[in-house]
Each structure stands twice: as C-alpha cells, then as structure tokens.
Amino acid sequence: MVAERVRARVAASAADTGAGNLSLTVSIGVTSLRSSDPNPDAALGRADVALYRAKEEGRNCVRATTVGLLSPIVA
C-alpha cells in the first residue's frame, strides 16, 4: 500500500522545467523477506522480477510477489 501511494503521488505531480511541465511515473516491484530465504538477495531477486513485470505491463504501476506468484497492487 505504501508503494502504491508513492506511485500515485509521483504520477499526480508535475515539475515545471521552464520549458513546460514534466510528468513522471514510477514502476515499483515489492516483496517480503521470507524465513526460507537463504539471504536478502533472494528477496531482492523477487522484487526485481516484480519490477520488470510492472514495466512489461505498461509501467506506472506496482507489482508484488506473493507465494510464487506476481500480483497487482490495488489501492
């Protein structure tokens, strides 16, 4: 939910560059650290997979890993 709030706030803001407004978007991949993870890199790998899934699905979204699956985050 925090990642979705960050994504929405970034998408709702625009930066005035002097040459016009610059719109930004954010794609975020999230996961949780599991007791079965041998090290934090395992969780980072899952988050990376979720991030690339978000990019493949049009960007400007949050994707999370759940028990072996990727799912969208809905606010």
H or E element that contains 74: none
Reported as a single tens digit per residue, the pLDDT across 30-53 is 999 888 999 999 999 999 999 999
Enter the pTM of the model. 0.75
Say what the pLDDT of residue 75 is.
40
Identify the CA nearest to 50 among candidates 65, 72, 34, 39: 65
Residue 17 falls in which region: left (phi positive, over 0), alpha (psi -120 to 50) or beta: alpha
The length of the chain is 75
Q: Which domain holds residue 65?
A: 2-72
pLDDT band at 16 (very low <50, low <70, confident <90, very high): confident
Total structural domains in the chain? Answer: 1
Identify whether the C-beta of residue 7 lies closer than 8 Å to the C-beta of residue 61: yes
CATH number of residue 61's parent domain: 3.30.70.270
pLDDT band at 9 (very low <50, low <70, confident <90, very high): very high
Tokens standing for residue 74 = 């809905």
Name residue, tokens 């041998």: 38
